[in-house]
């Protein structure tokens, strides 16, 4: 669905004065051959001038001023036959090789500038002459055909003869097929004629050769240089054309089958698939043989067999006119086939391409492009070897370089019309209503340009348009020819259903620009409906002057809105542009024209200033470009030949969207483009505008485009090689074309969502709903888009949808959506109320759906609706259908339980019967329930439905006779709190409290049990609970209240004090001993054990006896000191061991990182780790689902997660987690050291005052504590010191990067474990430090 358009044109003229300087006799020169030097960007041309061959070259620059557009003379070669057979530049050896008809092979050495370093050197000669010559694509071989003896000579690039074989031979070749007799005439059935005719010799056709044949051989090479083909005319009678294929070693491979009328032209497709030739059609009659004048392009395979053909569609001409195919040429990418045609009016080049195995002509190039050339004939035609779309042709005195590009002609978005040129027809297809794949189309518009009105003579030009264009807002089609003819039609595309014509084209306007010095190559048509009184049609035609800059010829035609063909007024103006080979850019929303220069600058074109000041620019020239308005800004988007897609706007720097794009379009507020990585991107225009505004000013270099992040928009995979044809927003479709030519229409989600949102904003609820349903979009988008608007328009929503099934589908999607439960309930309730208001009997299923899908579901309301319907005396079938429908929505067992929970047995039976439940299962159960009292019946139902709290209420209502059963029910289902609420302020309340307290006591929740027992006035049991909870204050308070005997109180005191001592609650135990047991000695002993010596001394001084100081306190202080010393020694030993182990681990981490981290060798190569067993076959298909192996794995990992955490925290020796474990252990040691400091601080004053022995022990423990504190602080500083930031430079390799990545996953333990801080507090006694001037060693007997 693409056309070929001219991208650029360049004409280099061989001026007469230049030729006269070389040939003083004034002989004219005619260009006969050309050669390309791609390294120097130079084209060489050989001209025939008298008895010499003159060699010329062009300049290496692309754009040259008119006065410099000429050839430079390089040298000449005199020869008796100045006809040139081949001219070639050998890039590897930097030589120019000329093969002449006389048989000479001449070589010139080239300098760096392209000039000749010396005179021509004859490296070889053939006495009989050379009729044809052709170099292989890689310049490794040259194939020649000689004159008299007609041999094929194969040489290498050094002109050594590799092979010489006769051209005409009876052999087929090395690839001759083997005939086993199958399908031969001898084995076939011949009917009534019998086999006798097999012996009758066939009459030879003496007139099957072509009269247009010049008799010369032709040579063509395959693209890989492995084979070449030679087309020759047989010297025997009849003299037919035969194609022979040779290998690059000169051996004959195959011979083509005889084809009547085969002509000399031959061209091997570069990809090697086909050999193209031409044939003039021959029709045999009973008396003679004559030609019908039609020409075909026929294809052969490498083995010589035919492989398809197509007709050249010869134009209508008189019988005396001349028409001949001169040559065939394939483009380097094998896409375009050029057919060089000679006819009476001049030469024409037809550009053909295939799509879906159909060949069509996209463009015709005529020789009238040549300036001051009256012959209108081409002398040579060739494709540039490196620029696939650059066609070079020559006339007698000019070299014409034309560059082509693909162009898609897509029209109005409301119809999706696309036009394709096929000769003198324009194939049109509106993709909104029809998806017709090429080569077919919905409508064929026949175009015929007439010189005069009503001219039907052969002077009518049936020519291919140079360019066609469709308007972006209406289906207005325009076509322009290179000579300036312009025609505009109104297509009148039918978009509605029906069997009429899909289009009814009407001619709107035509004109002949008539400037012979300008080649008109692009047309831009746009129309604007200003008001109801007039319409403005603008036709802008871009042309390139043959020796100047571009011009734009603009015509604005005012049309009548009622009579389309009536023109009210017409204005015309011409803008002269400041460059050459630019491109018009289409604006999608206005009549404004923009022109893009070859440097990428964008200009506005108008009648006053032409195109003077650039608005913005692309970094490079973009052949495909468009302008449109988004977010109040005019945005320009263009695609360059390199595949880079740019966007820019006025006053901003350009941005690059992607660097591998192959097509794009603009529709529905998106820039849609495809890439060579087989993806379709949908970029919101608003994102591009924000990017250009926010980032363009921050760019330092205005010429360098910034990259737009492609992760900010949606994209999807498409088929390999897909290109965009058009976008139809009304049908939310994107039409793509595959490389072969077939079409694929998809509905991308961004386009669908954009259309749905527009419909929702406009209140077109039905259209939005149907679009979501068709494209499988969750219908919750109808609510999510604008919840307030939906809630306000529920009435219109129901009126537009109407169908019950559609409303059910909508409510079901809402119930399953990710909306909040409140929103779901509000939507369901609002829609339900609207349906109930409109027609309850019609929308009963939808109302039931609303009850079921709301959050939480209201099954009881749905069942109640069924009872209401039954009471409305509706048809039984309607009620039955409603019951069946709700059973379809909800599980039958759940509905049965819900109906049972409503205590309505008729409803239960209704559900059970339509749910097809077995009566033997539910009827006995229902009979049993019916026989019970009402409240007890409800109790049984609720208990069956596991509604235990409600069952307990009903059991309470059943009467006090069921109280014991209620107690068992409470204990069975642990309904204590509910029972307390039920039986509050009743006689059974204390009984319930007692049961609750026993349950708490059994669960060892003694504190709660004691409170419950107190509430139940059971103080004795409350005291037991307080004692178990070690709540001695509440215990003795209740003992006083209960008036417990003193002996029992002392017993309780000794018992609970012992429990407190076991829990190391020494102060509380001492208080119990003193206050309730009256045992001062036990109290003092408890205080000393807890290092509460100050309190113990106070108790002795207050209550006595004094001897407790000597007997209990002083020995106990020494015991505490001994315990502290033991703790310090233990902590010191732990610190030293862990510090040593930490040093070992860190040394190992540096020296042996692989073994430490447990990483594998990343540089293990050439190791076979594949198993010898193949994978077991599976039973999966595209329609089966895999078992939940992932779920099992996740369960397994979840199950072992805590176990793995315990392993990490255990710090097992030798594991990677050991270092972290040691650091955490040292952090805990710091906390333990702080606790020990407090204990030492409390002990030291008493040791100082008791005795000299105690004082010496105080000195020892203080020095011991200070020594450990210093050691611990130094160790912490050493362990948590900042690591060096200097890193060794490691060679960048894949193995090292993988190793570093694995190590980064294991964070440094120092970063995971915070450095512990040791508080600097004055815990010691300064008096002891002053007395001990020199620090004592640990373990010294006394202070010195």
Please report which confidence band the pLDDT of residue 930 belongs to, taking 50, 70 and 90 as the band edges.
Answer: confident
1211 and 1221 in contact (C-beta within 8 Å)? Answer: yes
- Residue 436 gets which letter from DSSP? P
Residue 368, burial from CB neighbour count under 10 angstroms (0-12, 13-18, 19+): middle
More confident residue, 314 or 850: 850
- At 388 the pLDDT is 85
> Worst-scoring range by mean pLDDT, 182-191, 308-317, 530-539, 1135-1144?
182-191
- At 60 the pLDDT is 65
1060 and 1074 in contact (C-beta within 8 Å)? Answer: no
Question: Cα separations (Å) of 657 from 130, 637, 687, 712?
Answer: 55, 10, 11, 11
- At 418 the pLDDT is 93
375 and 345 in contact (C-beta within 8 Å)? Answer: no
pLDDT tens digits for range 459-494: 334 578 999 999 988 889 999 998 889 999 999 888
3-state secondary structure of 690: helix
- At 58 the pLDDT is 87
The strands making up 227-233's β-sheet, listed across from edge to edge, are 218-221, 227-233, 241-247, 252-255
Give the tokens for residue 1331. Answer: 């007395």
Please report which confidence band the pLDDT of residue 724 belongs to, taking 50, 70 and 90 as the band edges.
Answer: very high
- At 449 the pLDDT is 59
Is a pLDDT exceeding 60 seen at residue 1300?
no
Q: In which residue are the tokens 């310049």 written?
A: 139
Distance CA 929, CA 924 (A): 9
Taking each helix axis from N to C end, the angle separating 876-889 and 859-871, rounded to the nearest 10 degrees, works out to 170
Is a pLDDT exceeding 90 seen at residue 984?
no
Is a pLDDT exceeding 50 seen at residue 1105?
yes
Distance CA 361, CA 220 (A): 23
Question: Cα separations (Å) of 40 from 110, 157, 1260?
Answer: 10, 20, 97
Give the tokens for residue 1052. Answer: 């309780």
Q: How far apart are the first and last CA of the chain?
A: 109
163 and 151 in contact (C-beta within 8 Å)? Answer: no
Give the tokens for residue 987. Answer: 């006689």
3-state secondary structure of 347: strand
Residue 988, burial from CB neighbour count under 10 angstroms (0-12, 13-18, 19+): middle
Please report which confidence band the pLDDT of residue 458 belongs to, taking 50, 70 and 90 as the band edges.
Answer: very low
Distance CA 522, CA 5 (A): 8
Mean pLDDT calculated for residue range 167-183? 79
> Worst-scoring range by mean pLDDT, 76-80, 210-214, 541-545, 932-936?
210-214
More confident residue, 1333 or 586: 586
Preceding amide of 439 cis, omega within 30: yes
31 and 379 in contact (C-beta within 8 Å)? Answer: yes
Question: Cα separations (Å) of 778 from 586, 824, 828, 842, 1203?
Answer: 37, 14, 16, 25, 43
Mean pLDDT, the chain, as a whole number? 81
Is a pLDDT exceeding 90 seen at residue 749?
yes
Residue 536 makes CB contacts below 8 A (sequence gap 6+) with 527, 528, 530, 556, 557, 558, 559, 591
Distance CA 896, CA 918 (A): 12
93 and 87 in contact (C-beta within 8 Å)? Answer: no
CA 534, 535, 540: angle at the middle one, nearest 5? 145
Give the tokens for residue 261. Answer: 């009328």
pLDDT tens digits for range 491-524: 988 887 777 888 889 898 899 887 778 889 899 9
Is a pLDDT exceeding 70 seen at residue 1240?
yes
Please report which confidence band the pLDDT of residue 1036 belongs to, taking 50, 70 and 90 as the band edges.
Answer: confident
Mean pLDDT calculated for residue range 205-220? 72
Please report which confidence band the pLDDT of residue 240 belongs to, taking 50, 70 and 90 as the band edges.
Answer: confident
CA 1170, 1172, 1173: angle at the middle one, nearest 5? 110
Residue 1179 makes CB contacts below 8 A (sequence gap 6+) with none
Is a pLDDT exceeding 80 seen at residue 1247?
no
DSSP letters for 543-579: EEETTS-EEEEEEEEEE-SSSTT-EEEEEEEEEE-SS
More confident residue, 103 or 1248: 103
- At 1162 the pLDDT is 43
541 and 573 in contact (C-beta within 8 Å)? Answer: no
Distance CA 396, CA 377 (A): 8
Greatest pairwise CA separation for the chain in angstroms: 159
> Worst-scoring range by mean pLDDT, 81-95, 195-209, 589-603?
195-209
- At 1177 the pLDDT is 41
Q: In which residue are the tokens 């002053």 written?
A: 1330
- pLDDT over 70, % of the chain: 82
Query: How many CB atoms lie under 10 A from the CB of residue 1151?
Result: 9
Q: In which residue are the tokens 């409803």 written?
A: 907
- The predicted model scores a pTM of 0.75
Question: Cα separations (Å) of 83 from 153, 354, 384?
Answer: 20, 36, 23
The strands making up 733-737's β-sheet, listed across from edge to edge, are 723-728, 733-737, 743-746
Is a pLDDT exceeding 50 seen at residue 452?
no
Q: Provide, for the chain, the percentages of residues in helix, strand and coil under a 3-state DSSP scheme, each rounded to the nearest 5.
A: 35, 25, 35
Is a pLDDT exceeding 50 seen at residue 862?
yes
Query: What's the half-sphere exposure (Cβ side, CA atoms, 13 Å) at 569?
Result: 5
What is the H or E stretch that residue 410 is in?
A: strand 409-410
Alpha carbon of residue 1320 to chain centroid: 61
Is a pLDDT exceeding 80 seen at residue 776?
yes
132 and 142 in contact (C-beta within 8 Å)? Answer: no
- Residue 225 gets which letter from DSSP? S
Give the tokens for residue 627. Answer: 């302008």
What is the H or E stretch that residue 1235 is in?
A: helix 1218-1250
Give the tokens for residue 448. Answer: 């015929």
Give the tokens for residue 653. Answer: 């720097």
pLDDT tens digits for range 1168-1211: 444 443 444 443 333 333 444 444 444 445 556 555 555 555 55
Distance CA 553, CA 1164 (A): 71
Mean pLDDT calculated for residue range 1212-1222? 74
Distance CA 101, CA 128 (A): 9
The strands making up 485-490's β-sheet, listed across from edge to edge, are 467-470, 476-480, 485-490, 506-512
Distance CA 886, CA 866 (A): 9
- At 1099 the pLDDT is 80
Is a pLDDT exceeding 50 seen at residue 398?
yes
Give the tokens for residue 345. Answer: 């009016």
Please report which confidence band the pLDDT of residue 64 belongs to, taking 50, 70 and 90 as the band edges.
Answer: low
């Amino acid at each position: 669905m693409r056309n070929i358009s001219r991208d650029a044109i360049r004409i280099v003229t061989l001026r007469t004065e230049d030729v006269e300087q070389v040939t003083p006799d004034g002989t004219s020169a005619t260009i006969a051959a050309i050669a390309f030097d791609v390294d120097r960007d130079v084209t060489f041309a050989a001209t025939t001038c008298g008895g010499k061959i003159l060699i010329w070259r062009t300049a290496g620059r692309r754009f040259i001023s008119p006065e410099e557009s000429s050839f430079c003379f390089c040298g000449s070669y005199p020869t008796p036959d100045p006809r040139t057979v081949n001219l070639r530049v050998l890039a590897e050896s930097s030589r120019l090789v000329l093969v002449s008809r006389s048989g000479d092979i001449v070589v010139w050495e080239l300098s760096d500038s392209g000039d000749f370093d010396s005179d021509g050197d004859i490296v070889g000669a053939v006495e009989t002459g050379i009729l044809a010559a052709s170099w292989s694509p890689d310049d490794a071989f040259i194939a020649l055909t000689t004159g008299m003896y007609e041999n094929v000579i194969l040489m290498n690039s050094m002109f050594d003869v590799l092979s010489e074989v006769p051209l005409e031979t009876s052999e087929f070749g090395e690839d001759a097929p083997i005939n086993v007799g199958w399908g031969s005439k001898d084995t076939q059935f011949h009917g009534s004629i019998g086999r006798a005719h097999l012996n009758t010799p066939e009459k030879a056709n003496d007139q099957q050769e072509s009269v247009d044949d010049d008799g010369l051989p032709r040579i063509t090479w395959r693209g890989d240089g492995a084979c070449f083909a030679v087309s020759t005319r047989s010297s025997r009678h009849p003299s037919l054309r035969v194609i022979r294929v040779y290998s690059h070693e000169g051996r004959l491979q195959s011979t083509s089958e005889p084809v009547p009328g085969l002509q000399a032209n031959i061209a091997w497709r570069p990809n090697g698939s086909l050999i193209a030739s031409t044939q003039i059609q021959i029709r045999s009659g009973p008396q003679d043989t004559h030609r019908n004048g039609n020409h075909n392009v026929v294809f052969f395979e490498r083995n010589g067999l035919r492989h398809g053909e197509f007709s050249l569609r010869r134009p209508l001409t008189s019988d005396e006119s001349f028409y001949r195919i001169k040559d065939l040429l394939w483009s380097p990418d094998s896409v375009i086939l050029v057919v060089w045609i000679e006819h009476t009016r001049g030469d024409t080049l037809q550009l053909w391409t295939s799509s879906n195995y159909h060949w069509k002509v996209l463009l015709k190039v005529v020789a009238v492009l040549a300036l001051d050339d009256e012959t209108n004939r081409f002398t040579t035609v060739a494709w540039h070897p490196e620029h696939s779309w650059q066609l070079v042709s020559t006339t007698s005195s000019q070299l014409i370089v034309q560059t082509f590009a693909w162009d898609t002609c897509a029209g109005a978005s409301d119809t999706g019309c696309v036009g394709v040129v096929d000769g003198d027809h324009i194939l049109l297809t509106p993709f909104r209503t029809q998806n017709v794949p090429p080569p077919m189309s919905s409508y064929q518009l026949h175009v015929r340009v007439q010189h005069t009105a009503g001219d039907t003579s052969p002077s009518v030009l049936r020519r291919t348009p140079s360019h066609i264009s469709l308007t972006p807002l209406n289906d207005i089609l325009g076509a322009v020819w290179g000579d300036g003819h312009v025609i505009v039609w109104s297509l009148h595309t039918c978009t509605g259903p029906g069997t009429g014509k899909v289009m009814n084209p009407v001619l709107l306007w035509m004109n002949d620009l008539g400037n012979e010095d300008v080649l008109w190559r692009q047309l831009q048509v746009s129309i604007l409906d200003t008001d109801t009184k007039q319409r403005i049609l603008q036709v802008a035609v871009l042309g390139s002057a043959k020796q100047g800059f571009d011009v734009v010829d603009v015509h604005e035609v005012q049309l009548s809105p009622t009579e389309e063909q009536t023109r009210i007024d017409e204005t015309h103006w011409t803008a002269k542009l400041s460059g050459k080979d630019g491109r018009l850019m289409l604006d999608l929303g206005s009549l404004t024209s923009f022109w893009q220069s070859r440097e990428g600058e964008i200009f506005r074109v108008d009648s006053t200033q032409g195109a003077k000041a650039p608005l913005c620019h692309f970094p490079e020239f973009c052949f495909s470009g468009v302008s449109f308005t988004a977010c109040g800004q005019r945005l320009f988007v263009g695609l360059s030949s390199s595949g880079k897609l740019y966007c820019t706007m006025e006053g901003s720097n350009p941005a690059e969207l992607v660097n591998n794009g192959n097509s794009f379009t603009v529709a529905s507020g998106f820039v849609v483009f495809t890439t060579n990585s087989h993806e379709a991107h949908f970029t919101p225009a608003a994102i591009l505008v924000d990017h250009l505004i926010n980032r363009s000013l921050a760019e330092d270099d205005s010429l360098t485009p910034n990259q737009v992040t492609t992760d900010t928009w949606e994209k999807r995979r498409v088929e390999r090689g897909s290109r965009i044809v058009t976008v139809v927003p009304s049908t939310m479709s994107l039409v793509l074309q595959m490389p072969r030519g077939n079409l694929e229409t998809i509905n991308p989600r961004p386009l669908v969502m954009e259309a749905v949102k527009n419909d929702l904003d406009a209140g077109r609820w039905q259209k939005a709903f149907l679009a979501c349903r068709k494209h499988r979009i969750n219908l919750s988008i109808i609510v999510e888009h604008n919840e307030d608007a939906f809630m306000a328009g529920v009435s219109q929503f129901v009126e537009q949808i109407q169908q019950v099934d559609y409303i059910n589908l909508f409510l079901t999607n809402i119930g399953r959506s990710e909306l909040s439960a409140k929103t779901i309930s509000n939507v369901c309730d609002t829609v339900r109320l609207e349906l109930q208001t409109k027609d309850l009997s019609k929308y009963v299923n939808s109302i039931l759906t609303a009850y079921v899908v709301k959050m939480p579901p209201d099954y009881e309301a749905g069942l109640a609706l069924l009872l209401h319907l039954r009471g409305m005396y509706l048809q039984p079938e309607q009620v039955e259908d409603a019951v069946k429908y709700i059973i379809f929505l909800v599980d039958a067992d759940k509905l049965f339980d819900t109906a049972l929970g409503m205590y309505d047995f008729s409803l239960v039976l209704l559900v059970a019967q339509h749910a097809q439940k077995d009566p033997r299962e539910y009827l006995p159960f229902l009979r049993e329930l019916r026989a019970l009292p009402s409240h007890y019946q409800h109790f049984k139902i609720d208990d069956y439905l596991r509604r235990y709290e409600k069952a307990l209420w009903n059991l309470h209502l059943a009467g006090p006779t069921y109280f014991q059963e209620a107690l068992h029910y409470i204990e069975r289902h642990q309904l204590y709190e509910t029972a307390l609420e039920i039986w509050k302020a009743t006689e059974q309340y204390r009984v319930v409290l007692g049961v609750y307290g026993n349950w708490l006591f059994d669960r060892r929740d003694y504190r709660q049990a004691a409170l419950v027992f107190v509430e139940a006035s059971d103080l004795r049991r409350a005291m037991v609970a307080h004692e178990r909870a070690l709540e001695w204050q509440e215990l003795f308070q209740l003992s006083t209240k209960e008036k417990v005997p003193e002996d029992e109180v002392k017993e309780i005191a000794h018992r609970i004090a012992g429990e407190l001592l076991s829990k190391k609650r020494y102060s509380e135990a001492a208080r119990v001993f003193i206050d309730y047991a009256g045992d001062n000695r036990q109290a003092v002993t408890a205080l000393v054990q807890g290092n509460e010596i100050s309190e113990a001394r106070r108790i002795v001084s207050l209550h006595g006896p004094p001897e407790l100081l000597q007997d209990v306190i002083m020995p106990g202080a020494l015991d505490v000191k001994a315990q502290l010393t033991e703790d310090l020694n233990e902590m010191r030993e732990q610190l030293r061991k862990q510090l040593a182990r930490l040093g070992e681990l860190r040394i190992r981490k540096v020296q042996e990182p692989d073994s430490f981290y447990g990483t594998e060798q990343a540089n293990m190569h050439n190791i076979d780790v594949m198993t010898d067993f193949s994978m077991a076959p599976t039973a999966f298909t595209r329609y089966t689902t895999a078992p939940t192996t992932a779920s099992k794995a996740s369960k397994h990992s979840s199950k072992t997660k805590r176990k793995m955490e315990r392993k990490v925290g255990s710090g097992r020796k030798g594991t990677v987690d050991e270092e972290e474990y040691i650091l955490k252990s040292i952090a805990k040691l710091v906390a333990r050291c702080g606790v020990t400091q407090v204990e030492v601080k409390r002990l030291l004053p008493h040791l100082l005052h008791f005795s000299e022995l105690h004082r010496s022990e105080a000195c020892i423990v203080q020095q011991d504590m200070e020594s450990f504190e210093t050691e611990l602080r130094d160790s912490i500083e050493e362990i948590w010191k900042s690591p060096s930031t200097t890193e060794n430079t490691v060679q960048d390799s894949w193995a090292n990067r993988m190793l570093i990545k694995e190590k980064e996953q294991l964070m440094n333990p120092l970063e995971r474990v915070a450095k512990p801080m040791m508080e600097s507090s004055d815990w010691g006694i300064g008096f002891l430090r002053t007395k001990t001037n020199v620090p004592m060693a640990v373990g010294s007997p006394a202070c010195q």
